[in-house]
Amino acid sequence: MERSWLEYKTDAWVQWCPGCGNFGILNALHRALAELDIPPEKLAIVTGIGCSGRTCYYVKGNSMHSVHGRAIPAATGIKIANPDLVVIAEGGDGDMLGIGVEHFVSVGRRNIDITVIVHDNAVYGLTKGQAGPTLPSWWRTKALPGPNLHDNLNPLLLALASGYTFIARGYAYHVSQTKELIKKAIEHKGTSLVHILQPCPTYNNIMTKEWYEERIYYLEEENPDWDPVVTSQDEFTKKIGDIMGKMVEWGARIPLGVFYVNIAKDTFEQRLEKVIADYRKYPPAKRPVHVNGKPLIDPWTIFADKVIKT
């Protein structure tokens, strides 16, 4: 029997402003999990801090509300400890691309099989609308005392340079298209990014629903031959110019869809298997710690040389 997305909904009161793009992202995630038939007990969702960070309370599964910018390292630890789980790290533009940007970069070098979802409203919503790392320079959203003096970074290019092997962009109010992107990202073996443009009607009075909807288009609709899949270094060299060309397109027109998929790289789990023979069978979370109640390891022997003898 097919699962209903309602199985992933919790009873928690959703504390977002009316009209917030986060509602669309949450619904897309619920529907993606249902369509992929992921049992809640097989899901681990880790969020950062921010309005977007509250998502972990609204999705049924194993969840962790981590520290600001630290969803990715927590998700990495969970995935390495138990590679049978579907692991999602989720947070805002400030969380993932500001305070947590070093983790956003480092996870790409590992190509660990987790999905990173960024809710990008270009502001720090929870703390009342300061400029986020994706707000263009000289723009002044309504809570700023003056124009933004920082340049904006490009999350897609940063992910590509960091080694992510799946990179997509969606739009929060297009629930079914965003659901499809999240499904593809979860199914991909390796580190995947779904960057989601998310209107914040309370603090971002420039990048509104109307503003986005005048600009967005889907790559495969305009380019029926669009093929973002790379299976070898040669194919990477051939295709990367077009892929990066689409990644930098931003302004009058903003492309959405899957930009890049690399299936030629080992995941971190595969790399671990090469050095730890029984890693798949006994990952850290499944290693036996006792036989008939008798610990296999005596903790006192581990710490023996640390114990101060009096």
Task: Tell me the sheet residues that pair with 130.
Answer: 124
Q: How far is the CB of 142 from ligand SF4 (least distance, A)?
A: 11
Pick the stretch among 176-184, 200-208, 239-247, 301-309 that binds ligand SF4 (CB under 6 A).
200-208
For 217, the 3-state DSSP assignment is strand
Closest by Cα among 148, 117, 113 to 134? 148
Tell me how crowded residue 62 is: count the other CB atoms within 10 A of its CB: 18
Q: For ligand SF4, which stretch binds (CB under 6 A), given 15-23, 145-153, 161-169, 267-275?
A: 15-23
Q: Is 206 in the site for ligand SF4 (CB under 6 A)?
A: no
**Shorter beta-carbon distance to ligand TPP: residue 123 or 230:** 123
Based on the shown chain and the rule CB under 5 A, indicate whether residue 98 belongs to the binding site for Mg ion.
no
* Stretch binding Mg ion (CB under 5 A), from 20-28, 92-100, 162-170, 297-305: 92-100
Show Cβ contacts of residue 238 under 8 Å, excluding neighbours closer than 6 positions.
Answer: none
- Out of 16, 58, 124, 212, name the contact with ligand SF4 by CB under 6 A: 16
Cα distances (Å, whole numbers) of residue 266 to 189, 194, 258: 9, 20, 20
117 in contact with ligand SF4 (CB under 6 A)? no
- Of 8, 26, 93, 97, the residue at the interface with Mg ion (CB under 5 A) is 93
Q: Is 124 in the site for ligand SF4 (CB under 6 A)?
A: no
User: How far apart are alpha carbons 272 and 189 in whole angstroms?
Assistant: 15
94-129 burial: b if 16+ Cβ within 10 Å, else e: bbbbbbbbebbbebbebbbbbbbbbbbbbbbbbeeb
**Residue ranges binding ligand SF4 (CB under 6 A):** 16-17, 20, 22, 51, 121, 125, 200-203
**Residue ranges binding ligand TPP (CB under 6 A):** 49-52, 68, 91-95, 119, 121, 123-127, 132
